[in-house]
Amino acid sequence: MEKPDFEELVYIVSGVIFLASLGIGLEIVGDYVIGDIMLFLSILWALSIFLFMRYLERKDNQE
């Protein structure tokens, strides 16, 4: 599997950081439900990207 471009990594990391920081900010402000949802989405985002990259790596190794 070829290494992802730097630009792709920036998009991935910026999405996780944005969702996590927005969730933490909402937790601080006092909007706990939406803050929890944003934190959950950031974890789900990172996990889905990790699993997708592992899937692509396995698929490339089989060929």
Look-up of token digits 């601080």: 28
Phi, psi of 7 (to 5 degrees): -65, -40
The three-state secondary structure class of 26 is helix
pTM: predicted TM-score of the whole model, two decimal places: 0.64
Task: Report how far residue 52's alpha carbon sits from residue 25's, in angstroms, rounded to the nearest whole number.
Answer: 28
Task: Report how far residue 39's alpha carbon sits from residue 26's, in angstroms, rounded to the nearest whole number.
Answer: 10
pLDDT tens track for 23-59: 888 888 887 888 788 888 888 888 888 788 788 778 8
